[in-house]
Chain A
């Protein structure tokens, strides 16, 4: 083991400089908000020899609307606090809802979307939302740019399609007419890792419902059968709402059951698998009730 504590830290001024730097030194760690990386370093689990900070790479910051496609383009360095600002929160309420539950104000000021994606924790709160929104990750490197659907981007617990010299440039979210909700169960209201979470998006353009689940599997999971059921029971002519009829409660219960069945949770010290399976069904059902009431 080497006890050389020296770490080189570079602060590139542009995306160009960042990707060429990375190509030359693929073992280099990127530092965005540092809310995952510094924890790893402080516990001695990672000892990078070199670090590049994203703090001056303006191309990764903020968000915009793609004039050509109408898509929302969320910068890789978009912070949770920015997701909560009314402009963006109005467009992506489920993402704002997820951002609201992340950490504390300090964590939300520092932590970024790109960091959440690159960490790809099963409990990463933006992941189920991005999956339910059908979002696509834009990955940049010295070799060029490629687009990966979020569902393919996260390949396993803390595993992604990122290669060592890749950067999460942005996330593209298709703009459709939707109603969205994200609900999370934790052991505490703030500063808590999700025991389970569910994002539900009612897509009025495609007359379909997308349901994605967090913390109940190695990657965010879609609940396809539950989605189909929801698609059938919503009254699309009336604007995608739940009929207030006698079957409503039964349908919602079946929906919750299908969501639970789609989950693949594990036991850990934060929760048992049994509770996660149950609670994720409750979360998804309540989310559906809220967006389709």
Chain B
């Protein structure tokens, strides 16, 4: 990897090292847990050890005898603190059922990890001992952990709802066409897939610190959050503190992957307790606590059917989804399946579409957005089932995709599900990925290994994906019943010395926005990226914003920065024209200076204009001082990145161990601001998809007890599990924004899991194995092989 020093101007597309990294690498960056506030009380939440029970009693008095404990409260004690329940911002249907959800449970616990009491102490140790001392009596109820069982309403978790079904959501534009397509099909194939629950596992667990300002009733809330702006509004509604009295700051935040895109009980509790105690309140999540108290991802059972003609051209897609909401609806829990609902036809030109989703409550940690949110699931289903179609038709994996791709000339493409895809060149990405992966040599080696009956078999898996990201056009969100818009805000200021200040409403937590936004501005203004300061993640500094998730920051927030920059240039031009006594249309702006066309010696650098704007000694009549402009950009459409991944695995047929031999990814996210950052996103993204395919699963036993509560049991892969990825890209600009950019934050995760499983199935195809549940652990693979060979999975 090479990185170059930026030259002023022409910065876009350079592999600049990230501005953020020195502070992170030297440990200077301040995370919530690093903030030391004198007099703060440490909060520990007492959590239910059982999945489903009535609370008979909670006795916090033993905690009070622990030295250092200052106060302890039950859910009932705090009932009066709440102006509203913890929010769900996405009532996807008018009749969606949502249980009341308070920060601490009062009568019933609905998952292992549900909070029942809080202990405040002068040290974290004392708070923990106090928490252990709280005595809670539970009357256990049968737990619901299986989705079909949940749907049956054998046990209804929330009595007041009368059912475990939260909602049913349908997207079938033309039922008759669906029926006809399946009736007339030459081939139909069906896939049944389980998207296991995943634990997001950001490197920094959550944490919150609230500092009350005793005299004016204001609060500064630091949180390890992706969404300081949304959090501020929602906490105002939940805790009943005026929005104007809350300042939210997201300091350095160590990753989120969607798990910090939420309004959590602990944030509401910390604010309410700071109000009640008039002291700073601090809560820091432990890693094991995070496996229960932080939302989980996926949790879906998918049934997908394809109808196709004799050549394998897909004529219809029909999908039925059963989605696990967990015990309660968190901020966007019910919306996650909808983010995938439109994408089950993948990269293919499919005329007829049908999707329906039933979402149910279970006695497990609530689910919510996790990297890709709905789209990895959709991609997995279509990219897996198309392999069955290839087999039915008798063509290979690449050919079945070629026959069905939306062609480059069909863009903008209106999908049967109702989206308009901005741009794409799907076959080009496939060709490049096949070329880079050395497909011919691999097939030859595979044949040799098959023939010689090698213990280790080779498999090659392809996944061609596209996704919709860049949340989002506000009107589209309205049509999906989302309660907020999808715009993003930016302000750009030129300071008197020619330095530039950028204020963004996005809230980075590892993505490198400071670097990328600096590059966008530097490129347009002709200054160096180091001359640009990017301010973010503090609602007092950046009052407007909708934060960071859904691969939206660049294609919405970055575009807002570009627009605001151009507005600054326009104003600067008027000042320069005035000072140079020349008509504006006779000036051009290049390399950081306004220059008279044809007379290059009549020129004024931007820095000089900034100083003139600041002194305001000689401005055109009617023009206000200073160079500052804002943009509130509402994107006209999503962006639709795409690509093809090729995964090569070695499957040890004796132990069932799957090793990645190579992984090739060709991704297209349109114009790249900083390819180094793009690669970083792709690397991490692929790894999270590989993790789902091979390693990770949040396991619950039949009583709803979580079994994967440490990183020894929840298997996040490490470097030693992974090959060096081969990454490459094609560039198909998005026509819907002035930078031509698309999101890349989730693409790697969306494309990768099916590539891995397709590779395993390819390796084992001679045994008649065509499906493998995730995660494909050695034991699971070994069992499949034993069964296929007609052996008992014996081992004795």
Q: Tell me the A residues contacting B by CB distance below 8 Å.
A: 1, 3, 5, 44, 104, 185, 187-193, 195, 257, 260-261, 269-272, 274-279, 281-282
A-B pairs with beta carbons under 8 A, tally: 76
- B795:A281 contact, CB within 8 angstroms: yes
- A270:B778 contact, CB within 8 angstroms: no
Q: Tell me the B residues contacting A by CB distance below 8 Å.
A: 65-67, 125-126, 128-129, 132-133, 654-657, 695, 699, 707-708, 711-713, 715, 717-718, 720-721, 777-779, 782-783, 793-796
Whole-angstrom CA separation of A193 from B793 in the bound complex: 23
- B778:A279 contact, CB within 8 angstroms: yes
- B655:A185 contact, CB within 8 angstroms: yes
Whole-angstrom CA separation of A257 from B783 in the bound complex: 18
- A185:B657 contact, CB within 8 angstroms: yes
* Known contacts A188-B721, A190-B720, A282-B655, A277 near B715 by CB under 8 Å: no
- B721:A275 contact, CB within 8 angstroms: no
> Which of B132, B713, B721 interacts with A189 by CB under 8 Å?
B721
* Known contacts A3-B66, A185-B657, A275 near B795 by CB under 8 Å: yes
- A188:B655 contact, CB within 8 angstroms: no
**A–B complex contacts, Cβ < 8 Å, 28 sampled:** A3-B67, A3-B126, A5-B125, A44-B132, A185-B655, A187-B777, A188-B715, A188-B718, A189-B721, A191-B712, A191-B718, A193-B712, A260-B795, A260-B796, A261-B796, A269-B699, A269-B708, A270-B713, A272-B779, A274-B793, A275-B793, A275-B795, A276-B795, A277-B794, A277-B795, A277-B796, A278-B794, A279-B655
CB neighbours (8 Å) of B129 from chain A are 3, 5
- B66:A278 contact, CB within 8 angstroms: no
- B779:A271 contact, CB within 8 angstroms: yes
Give min CB distance, B649 to chain A, whole Å.
14
Whole-angstrom CA separation of A275 from B786 in the bound complex: 11
Q: Which A residue's beta carbon lies closest to that of B69?
A: A3
- A187:B695 contact, CB within 8 angstroms: yes
CB neighbours (8 Å) of A188 from chain B are 695, 715, 717-718, 721
CB neighbours (8 Å) of A257 from chain B are 796
Q: Which A residue's beta carbon lies closest to that of B128?
A: A44
Whole-angstrom CA separation of A276 from B783 in the bound complex: 12
| 11 new A-B contacts at CB < 8 Å, known A3-B67, A257-B796, A279-B795 | A185-B657, A192-B715, A193-B712, A195-B779, A272-B779, A274-B793, A274-B795, A275-B779, A275-B782, A275-B795, A277-B794
Q: Which A residue's beta carbon lies closest to that of B791?
A: A278
CB neighbours (8 Å) of A3 from chain B are 65-67, 126, 129, 133
* Known contacts A278-B795, A279-B795, A187 near B778 by CB under 8 Å: yes
CB neighbours (8 Å) of B779 from chain A are 195, 271-272, 275
Q: Is the interface of B mostly helix, strand, loop or mixed?
A: loop
Give min CB distance, B7 to chain A, whole Å.
39
CB neighbours (8 Å) of A189 from chain B are 718, 720-721
Give min CB distance, B693 to chain A, whole Å.
13
Give min CB distance, A143 to chain B, whole Å.
37
Q: Which B residue's beta carbon lies closest to that of A44?
A: B132
Which 9 residue pairs are nearest across A and B when measured between Cβ atoms? A278-B795, A277-B795, A189-B720, A275-B779, A190-B720, A269-B707, A3-B66, A282-B654, A188-B715
Give min CB distance, B457 to chain A, whole Å.
15
CB neighbours (8 Å) of B782 from chain A are 275, 278-279
CB neighbours (8 Å) of B133 from chain A are 1, 3
Q: Is the interface of A mostly helix, strand, loop or mixed?
A: loop
Whole-angstrom CA separation of A156 from B778 in the bound complex: 28
Give min CB distance, B720 to chain A, whole Å.
4
Most buried by A among B65, B125, B655, B717: B655
Give min CB distance, A1 to chain B, whole Å.
7
CB neighbours (8 Å) of A277 from chain B are 794-796
Most buried by A among B707, B708, B795: B795
Whole-angstrom CA separation of A274 from B721 in the bound complex: 25
Q: Which B residue's beta carbon lies closest to that of A273?
A: B795
CB neighbours (8 Å) of B128 from chain A are 44
Whole-angstrom CA separation of A253 from B129 in the bound complex: 55
CB neighbours (8 Å) of A279 from chain B are 655, 778, 782, 795
Give min CB distance, A264 to chain B, whole Å.
11
> Which of B707, B708, B718, B795 interacts with A190 by CB under 8 Å?
B718
- A269:B713 contact, CB within 8 angstroms: yes
Whole-angstrom CA separation of A15 from B130 in the bound complex: 39
Q: Which B residue's beta carbon lies closest to that of A277?
A: B795
Whole-angstrom CA separation of A274 from B657 in the bound complex: 16
Whole-angstrom CA separation of A104 from B708 in the bound complex: 20
Whole-angstrom CA separation of A274 from B707 in the bound complex: 20
CB neighbours (8 Å) of B715 from chain A are 187-188, 192
Give min CB distance, B45 to chain A, whole Å.
16
Give min CB distance, A6 to chain B, whole Å.
11
Whole-angstrom CA separation of A191 from B656 in the bound complex: 19
Whole-angstrom CA separation of A263 from B783 in the bound complex: 19
Whole-angstrom CA separation of A187 from B712 in the bound complex: 10
Give min CB distance, B131 to chain A, whole Å.
10
Whole-angstrom CA separation of A254 from B777 in the bound complex: 26
Whole-angstrom CA separation of A204 from B65 in the bound complex: 66
Most buried by B among A3, A195, A271, A277: A3
Q: Which B residue's beta carbon lies closest to that of A257?
A: B796
Whole-angstrom CA separation of A191 from B695 in the bound complex: 13
Whole-angstrom CA separation of A5 from B124 in the bound complex: 12
- A185:B778 contact, CB within 8 angstroms: yes
Q: Which B residue's beta carbon lies closest to that of A1?
A: B133
Give min CB distance, A197 to chain B, whole Å.
12
Q: Which B residue's beta carbon lies closest to that of A43?
A: B288
Whole-angstrom CA separation of A192 from B125 in the bound complex: 29
CB neighbours (8 Å) of B125 from chain A are 5
Most buried by B among A187, A191, A192, A261: A187
Give min CB distance, A111 to chain B, whole Å.
14
Give min CB distance, B761 to chain A, whole Å.
21
Q: Which B residue's beta carbon lies closest to that of A188?
A: B715
Give min CB distance, A38 to chain B, whole Å.
14
Give min CB distance, B779 to chain A, whole Å.
4
CB neighbours (8 Å) of B793 from chain A are 274-275, 278
Whole-angstrom CA separation of A261 from B126 in the bound complex: 51
Whole-angstrom CA separation of A271 from B713 in the bound complex: 11
Give min CB distance, B60 to chain A, whole Å.
15
Whole-angstrom CA separation of A282 from B695 in the bound complex: 22
Whole-angstrom CA separation of A263 from B779 in the bound complex: 17
Q: Which A residue's beta carbon lies closest to that of B711?
A: A191
Give min CB distance, A200 to chain B, whole Å.
16
Whole-angstrom CA separation of A205 from B126 in the bound complex: 60
Whole-angstrom CA separation of A1 from B717 in the bound complex: 40
Give min CB distance, A101 to chain B, whole Å.
10
Give min CB distance, B79 to chain A, whole Å.
29
Q: Which B residue's beta carbon lies closest to that of A104?
A: B718
Give min CB distance, B64 to chain A, whole Å.
11
Give min CB distance, B670 to chain A, whole Å.
36
Give min CB distance, A108 to chain B, whole Å.
13
Whole-angstrom CA separation of A189 from B65 in the bound complex: 46
